[in-house]
Amino acid sequence: MRKFLLMAIALAPICSAFAQNSAIYRADEKINDGKLQEAAQIIEPALTSGKTKNLAGAYNIAGITYAKMLQAEIAKAASKQPLDTNLFISSLDKAVKYFEQSYKLDNQPDEKGKVKPKLEANAEAPFQNNYKMLGDMISYYRYAGQFLYNRGDHKGAYEKFARYLDLPKDPIFTKQQSDSIYKSAAEDYYQIAYFTTMLGYQMKDDDLAMKYIDFALQDTAKTNKHDLFLIKAQTCLNKKDTATWLKTVKEAIQELPDESQYVQNLLYYYNVKHLNDEAVATAQDLVAKAGNNKNAWYSAGCIYLNMSKDYTKAREYLQKALDIDPNFADANYNMGVSYVNELISKKDQFVTDPRKPQYKTDVEKVKEYYRKALVYFEKTRELAPNQPQIWGLSLKNIYYNLQMKDKEKEIDKVLADSGIVVPDASDYGKTVNVKKTVQ
């Protein structure tokens, strides 16, 4: 997990300018004397006593007290001394909690219905600006999460990372301020969203895994998108949310042009559901949205190949994928499949009786299909030489039907060495399906 460098929090010196409230005044004195635990013992009872007149100010002083404790631990880290991670985390939580409550109280309307906050930009000593203090402390939740993660407390780490991701949306910040916070540290926010999603997934909690995944996927970098789409697709299946799963798979095809497993998933879904019209509509949608994406064209080609049995259309779309990447092994393989399957679909149109005049002509037509398929199967072998389970039987079929005996013997040896069982020759007329993605 990525580590972050602790930076000191900016805290202005506190001066005892007045004693409007005795608890605030006495806590302020203890803070200035560096007696933070004593300050906490004074100010915390004042928060719930019902006697404190300036309750917003009391919460502000409480926030400052714990912010100072947090600062002391950060100072230890800066000087390479061991810090108390428990105190770091508890001080951070309390400081943030108290500044949030101070803001809430400070922004309540008076008896005339007017809101006149005193603890914002115009905050006077010993108080400090709630907005600034909270903004300065958001990033520390990254470290809190990392401390807990390192202890093996994944649930606690998730909660702290989630706090980091959510705090910029706190009501204390305007929409503009919130957007600015996210934008200024976008890389960190996306990375933490990824960590948080992974934690939810590792804990086998589908709701936690899904909570920040869309935010993480907003990252324009492709680094983590493979993992994120896999998690989202699997989580949707776990939740039996087919609509979101389908949308996720389509997005993955567009976002990850070099990965084909989502194409296989999509085809399997449409095949099992017998949704031919929906499949064709998806094919058109994919290429319309991602005209330069080879997987979009490949997906569309496979849909026409396997669902519509429109082999001419399938080759048109597969060729578009090959125009983008001539070394796209899956597209090469399925171009070959298209010729073999089209031939099988027309088998009843050919004369099989050698005594009839049309026989030789039809034999040549059949061989032409095999010759065209051969080019693509041999290209697949060239691109994936160590995966005979993909192309081996298809080439065996072609060499057998074209009576290329030397080539057939060569493939027989490859298949035998790989432990691949060769079917009877009678099986060589069966329709070929889309194979597992070439690695």
* SS3 label, residue 260: coil
Query: What phi and psi values does residue 91 have, to the nearest 5 degrees?
Result: -65, -40
Q: For residue 107, what are its two tokens?
A: 């922004």
What secondary structure letter does DSSP report for 427?
A: G
pLDDT band at 424 (very low <50, low <70, confident <90, very high): low
Q: Taking 50 as the threshold, does the pLDDT of residue 432 lie above it? A: no
97-122 tens-digit pLDDT = 999 999 999 998 888 888 888 887 77
- Tally of domains in the chain: 1
- Asked, for residue 321, whether it belongs to a domain, the answer is no
C-alpha 118/C-alpha 193 separation (Å) is 35
C-alpha 9/C-alpha 74 separation (Å) is 8
Q: Give me the domain span that covers residue 381.
A: 340-427
Burial of 381 (0-12, 13-18, 19+ CB in 10 A): buried
- Asked, for residue 16, whether it belongs to a domain, the answer is no
Least confident of 49-63, 87-101, 153-167, 383-397: 49-63
Q: Taking 80 as the threshold, does the pLDDT of residue 385 lie above it? A: yes
- Asked, for residue 396, whether it belongs to a domain, the answer is yes
Q: Which residue has the tokens 């399906």?
A: 433
Strand segments, DSSP code E, in 36-191 are none
Q: Which has more confidence, 73 or 292?
A: 73
C-alpha 207/C-alpha 194 separation (Å) is 15
- Asked, for residue 314, whether it belongs to a domain, the answer is no
Q: For residue 94, what are its two tokens?
A: 């309390």
User: Quick one: CA dihedral 304, 305, 309, 314, positive or negative?
Assistant: positive
Centre a 10 Å sphere on the Cβ of residue 80 and count the other Cβ atoms it contains: 7
pLDDT of residue 111: 80
Centre a 10 Å sphere on the Cβ of residue 181 and count the other Cβ atoms it contains: 19
Question: Given its phi and psi angles, is residue 125 left (phi above 0), alpha (psi -120 to 50 degrees) or beta?
Answer: beta
Contact 271, 306 (CB under 8 A): yes
- Asked, for residue 414, whether it belongs to a domain, the answer is yes
Is the peptide bond preceding residue 168 cis, with omega within 30 degrees of 0? Answer: no
Question: Given its phi and psi angles, is residue 113 left (phi above 0), alpha (psi -120 to 50 degrees) or beta?
Answer: left
Centre a 10 Å sphere on the Cβ of residue 64 and count the other Cβ atoms it contains: 27
Mean pLDDT of the chain: 88
Q: Taking 50 as the threshold, does the pLDDT of residue 439 lie above it? A: no
299-342 tens-digit pLDDT = 889 989 988 899 999 999 999 999 999 999 999 999 999 999 99
pLDDT of residue 205: 97
- Asked, for residue 409, whether it belongs to a domain, the answer is yes
Q: Which has more confidence, 154 or 268?
A: 154
* Percent of the chain at pLDDT exceeding 70: 92
- Asked, for residue 412, whether it belongs to a domain, the answer is yes
182-235 tens-digit pLDDT = 999 999 999 999 999 999 999 999 999 999 999 999 998 878 999 999 999 999
pLDDT of residue 402: 95
- Asked, for residue 113, whether it belongs to a domain, the answer is no
Of 8-12, 16-20, 56-60, 258-262, highest mean pLDDT: 56-60
C-alpha 332/C-alpha 250 separation (Å) is 22
Least confident of 9-18, 52-61, 140-149: 9-18
